[in-house]
Structure formats: C-alpha cells, structure tokens
C-alpha cells in the first residue's frame, strides 16, 4: 500500500482520536499492558481505545506518539499482511518516537496476530480490537502467548447505562430516594427494550439505529465474511432462534423448521451457521447441565448478546426479553460456567460454582405460576444442594420461605444492579 497515503491516514487519526467525545467506561488499564478487546460490533471497543489514548495524552504522551488505525476505513480496503510493515515504516518516516499502536477492527487482515506479536516482542505497546470470536482461537492465542491481556467488551450493563444517563446510583442510600428510584425505573424500561449499545444513547429513533446495526452485522460480519450462499436461509434461521429464545433448540429441529418453509438445509450446515452466529458475537449459548456430552453439544438455549437486537424480531417480546437480559447478565459474570438444568424438572439458569439457581418469571401474581416456578426451583435445589435461590420478575419483590429454603424474588432492576 502507498506509504504516502498511510502517512496521511496516521496524521489524520492522531487529530481525530484526541477529540473524540468519550462515553466513559470504568476500566483500569495496566500501565505496561498490551490488550486485545473483543466484542460484538458497536459494543464500545473503539471508545475504550480512545479513552486510553486520551488518558495517555493527559499523562504527557504527545499525540505524535499515537498510531491509531481503523481497518474498516475504506481507504484501507486493499490493506494486506505485507502492509503492516509499510505502516510501521510510514510512521517512522514521520517521527523519531517509538509509537503506541492502536489497531482497530483488525480481524479483517489475515495474519494480524503475527505482526502484533512481533511488535510486543520488540517492546512496543499494542492495543487491538476485533468483532469476531475467532480472534480467540487456540491458534491465535498460541501466537499471542502471554504477551496480551484479553478482554471481552459488551454493550453497557444497566449500571453503566444509568450512570451514562446521569442517574445518581452512586450516591449513598440512593435506594431510598424516590426521585432516583423513579429515574431508575424509567431508564430500566428503555434498557429493557433497546439494550445497551453505547452509541444508541444519542439517537431518538433507536429501533432504526438497531435495525441498521443488525443489517451491518448480517451482511458484513456474516454473509460477506463467511461467503454464505443463501442469505435468506440464514435470515429465517436467526428469526426462528429469536422466537425460541426461552426454549432449548436442536440443530435437527432448526433443519426441520427451515425445510417446512421450503428451505432445505443439512444439519451440518445448521451447525456451521450457529458457529458463525457465535463467532460474530451476535449470540451465545447455554448448555443443559444434566445432559450427556453429545446432547450438551447439539441441544442448547441460544440468547442474543443485546436485548435491542432480539427485540427487532419479536411481536410480544416481554417474557423473552426478560429471560434474555438475565442470561446476558449471568453470562457476562460466569461465562461458560453458566448452564440451565433440565432433568425431570427445569430451571432456567444454574451456576455450579456459586450453588446458584435463577428462575425467570415475568410475574408471580398468578397462583399457579407461583407454585410452578417455586416447585421447580425447590426440587432442583434439593437435587443439586443449592444454597442461593432467586426468581427474577419484571417488577415484583418478595422473600419466600419454602421447605426450609429462602427464595429471593427480585425485580429486574435490583437483580441487574446486584
């Protein structure tokens, strides 16, 4: 790639990065750490980079010492592996400093991991972002060795969302302030339906922004990147998964559903498509703790990484959105240590390391619903010897004593802020 063009881009981004209006996130950077930030598109990875750049500038680092590049810049569409060295040389033709590298959305460039490993070996400080879980493959992680700190970046949590919107939940005893509680309730509704993508906050038409983001993920991160031959089949599949978000779903069932719509697809292709959906970080899966090894791999619950994206697909969304948002919260906290339990009795979420069971029910006002949810929870707790039992509702709160066990019934906002 042309060195003069690279010089121009380097200088342009130096001015740009220092003037970005930040959406501050609480993140403590290690002074000498190299980082790989991974997350779904628009989760806030670039803003973490800009946050770090501006921290460095305030500490006395000159803007000329910053080398920030966004590889989704259309001027870099022909950037190849060999151009990494051209980029480095272009910088050194401009300056005598040892730059701090910020390489944004680098997953599009084949062999990027070898270049950033070499930079780290040469004692450069390097920050990298990517929108594909393949960046965490065993091959890439072997190349990066112990040189990089890997951090997952998610859309805002409810706490971050409230703080960004100036809801004062850091004040002492805020929970007894009716005005703050009203603000929390109002903003939690927005978060519930539209999710936590940081950039979404500046838009009035949130659904339109989310639809545009989904189309970008669908066509850019799925269809184009994986060369999917029949986009319509994948589109229908995503819609069917969204409709089934509260239920375990098998690859065989998805194949049969698609066949019934006139779209014949093999089980192997369904498995491959699920891999793509998880690699683009649009979805994550939860396995049945009680299942056999083969069933753990073939029958799972699938959840969307953000409620705003899921809500695009649903007509009566509330129950599904409630379970999805609880799943996101628990997955961010426990990762692959999160399961559901289904063997004679079903419980929505199980965290073995915490002896924690979580059931999700929109409301417990109906007596039969209350009995069903409580009985499932207590039976599972007896079998698994669990000590923490929680039912998350949309707005209700209570403490139940059943069979010598305490069940905490929590409204969604309180659970998400716990």
pLDDT in tens, 256-279: 999 998 988 999 999 999 999 999
pLDDT of 179 higher than 80: yes
345-351 and 299-304 strand pairing = unpaired
CATH topology of domain 3-152: Rossmann fold (3.40.50)
Q: What is the mean pLDDT of the chain?
A: 95
Asked if 122 and 146 count as a contact pair (C-beta separation under 8 A), the reply is no
Question: Taking 80 as the threshold, does the pLDDT of residue 40 lie above it?
Answer: yes
**How many residues would you count in the chain?**
418
In the three-class reduction of DSSP (H, G, I as helix; E, B as strand; rest coil), residue 128 is classed as strand
Residue with tokens 């989904």: 214
Candidates 152, 69, 150, 65; CA nearest to 104 is: 69
Distance, CA of 164 to CA of 157 (rounded, Å): 10
Question: Does 316 have pLDDT greater than 80?
Answer: yes
pLDDT reading at 337 higher than 80: yes
- For residue 136, the model assigns a pLDDT of 79
The pLDDT, as a whole number, for residue 157 is: 96
User: Which percentage of the chain shows pLDDT scores above 90?
Assistant: 89
Residue 172's pLDDT is 87
Q: Is the pLDDT of residue 71 over 80?
A: yes
**171 pLDDT above the threshold of 80:** yes
pLDDT (tens digit per residue) in 143-162: 898 899 999 999 999 999 99
**pLDDT over 80 (residue 413):** yes
pLDDT band at 4 (very low <50, low <70, confident <90, very high): very high
Residue range 351-371, pLDDT digits in tens: 999 999 999 999 999 999 999
pLDDT of 146 reads 87
- Domains of the chain by residue range: 3-152, 158-199, 344-418
Q: How confident is the model at residue 58 (pLDDT cuts 50, 70, 90)?
A: very high
Structural contact between residues 105 and 131, judged by C-beta atoms closer than 8 angstroms: yes
Rounded to an integer, the average pLDDT of 340-349 is 96
How confident is residue 336, by pLDDT bands cut at 50, 70 and 90? very high
What percent of the chain clears pLDDT 70, i.e. is strictly above it?
100
Question: Cα separations (Å) of 179 from 175, 182, 184, 185?
Answer: 10, 5, 9, 10
CB 290 within 8 A of CB 270: no
Give yes or no for residue 141 having a pLDDT over 90: no
Of the candidates 170, 175, 147, the one whose C-alpha atom is nearest the C-alpha of residue 160 is 170
Q: In angstroms, what CA-CA distances link 338 with 146, 286, 287, 335, 341?
A: 26, 7, 8, 6, 10
Spatial neighbors of 110 by CB under 8 A, at least 6 apart, are 80, 81
Regarding pTM above 0.75, the answer is yes
């Amino acid at each position: 790639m042309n060195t003069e063009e690279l010089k121009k881009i380097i200088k342009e981004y130096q001015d740009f990065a220092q003037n970005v209006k930040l959406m501050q996130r609480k993140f403590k950077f290690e002074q000498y750490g190299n980082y790989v930030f991974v997350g779904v598109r628009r989760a806030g990875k670039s803003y973490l980079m800009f946050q770090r750049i501006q921290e460095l500038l305030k500490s006395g680092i000159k803007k000329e010492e910053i080398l920030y590049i966004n590889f989704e810049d259309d001027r870099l569409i022909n950037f190849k592996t060999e151009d990494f060295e051209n980029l480095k040389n272009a910088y050194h033709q401009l300056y005598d400093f040892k730059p701090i590298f910020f390489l944004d959305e680098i997953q599009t460039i084949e062999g990027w991991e070898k270049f950033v490993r070499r930079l780290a070996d040469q004692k450069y400080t390097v920050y990298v972002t990517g929108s594909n879980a393949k960046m965490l493959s065993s091959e890439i992680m072997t190349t990066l060795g112990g040189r990089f700190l890997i951090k997952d970046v998610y859309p805002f949590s409810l706490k971050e969302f409230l703080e960004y919107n100036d809801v004062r939940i850091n004040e002492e005893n805020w929970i007894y302030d009716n005005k703050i509680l009203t603000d929390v309730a109002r903003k939690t509704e927005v978060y519930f339906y539209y999710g936590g993508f940081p950039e979404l906050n500046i838009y009035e038409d949130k659904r339109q922004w989310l639809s545009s983001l989904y189309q970008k993920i669908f066509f850019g991160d799925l269809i184009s990147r994986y060369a999917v031959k029949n986009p319509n089949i994948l589109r229908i599949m995503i819609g069917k998964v969204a409709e089934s978000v509260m239920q375990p779903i098998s690859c065989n069932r998805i194949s049969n559903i698609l066949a019934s719509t006139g779209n014949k697809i093999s089980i192997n292709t369904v498995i491959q498509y699920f891999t793509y959906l998880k690699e683009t970080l649009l979805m994550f899966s939860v396995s049945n703790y009680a299942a056999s090894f083969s069933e753990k791999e073939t029958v799972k619950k699938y959840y969307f990484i953000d409620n705003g994206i899921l809500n695009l697909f649903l007509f009566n969304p509330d129950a599904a959105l409630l379970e999805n948002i609880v799943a996101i919260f628990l997955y961010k906290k426990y990762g692959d240590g999160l399961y559901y339990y289904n063997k004679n009795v079903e419980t929505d979420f199980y965290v073995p390391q915490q002896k924690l069971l979580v059931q999700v029910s929109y409301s417990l006002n109906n007596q039969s619903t209350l009995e069903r949810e409580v009985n499932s929870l207590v039976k599972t707790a007896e079998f698994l010897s669990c000590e923490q039992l929680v039912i998350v509702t949309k707005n209700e709160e209570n403490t139940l004593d059943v069979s010598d066990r305490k069940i905490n019934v929590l409204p969604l906002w309180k659970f998400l802020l716990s």
